[in-house]
Structure 1
């Protein structure tokens, strides 16, 4: 089986290298960034509102490793990749919960960024509480 996905947009953030990124978006609630959608996907923003939370599904475009066993950054215990949030995963897919601060044309401004500048975005989903 072959699965093909294409980015719907790119992240524009202050983080230019992986050493600067917070471990998770919840550890950077004040950090701001934007998701610039490709023009073809602009209509898909209808219904999103400022103040709401979304899940951004993205591709770890600078990750090159895929070990199934890893040591989490704050532990000495080796564990399976599916029990941690490492960017080094079989399909290099990440997900972050962020809060929308503004929507302008094809751009979502948000807080809680934990993604590199230039990160390809695969999808957006609303957080349902």
Structure 2
């Protein structure tokens, strides 16, 4: 189980948001710029035919001493239940990985223009995937009320 996994970022996020914030990501327009040393625009051929992307990224500003492996109240809110780190989407995760779905606006050269990507300026991007409806959940989606409340302003406009 202790196999080391090494990944190299495929690019970086260029965003007007430089500070970590919890809410109001819906109107944020940013760019995922692929690494020109690894890729040519050919790597993005056909991507513009999709409306949405899944972006896998690294929470690079979370220091190792802030990583959580147990349970906590989401956002420190004592009114919400104590839940394990794998029952929430907080940034202080064991491997500091984030996954976000966002709207694809355009592709220009090595730049992928998106809206609603909840990653700050300089964030290392580990992978891009087109969002396909068939990869969405099958069946009824169930989640606790606290998570619905938490997400109320997450993708709201700024």
Same fold (TM over 0.5): yes
Which is richer in strand?
1
Q: Judging changes above 3 Å, is the alpha-carbon distance between structure 1 residues 49 and 75 closer, same or farther for their aligned structure 2 residues? A: same
- Deviation track 1:62-100 (CA, whole Å, cap 9, x = no partner) reads 112221222202742221000101000110000100111
Offset, 1:51:
5.6
**Structure 2: distance between partners of 1:82 and 1:90:** 9
1:18 aligned counterpart, secondary structure: coil
Larger Rg: 2
**Structure 1: distance between partners of 2:50 and 2:44:** 14
**Structure 2: distance between partners of 1:37 and 1:120:** 10
**RMSD, matched Cα:** 1.6
> How many residues were matched structurally?
124
1:67 equivalenced with 2:71 (yes/no): no
In the alignment, structure 1 segments of 5+ residues that lack a partner are: none
| Candidates 101, 105, 108, aligned match of 1:104 | 108
**Structure 2: distance between partners of 1:61 and 1:82:** 19
Conserved? CA contact 1:66–1:89, under 8 Å? yes
Show the counterpart of 2:88: 84
1:73 aligned counterpart, secondary structure: helix
TM-score by length of 1: 0.88
Conserved? CA contact 1:51–1:99, under 8 Å? no
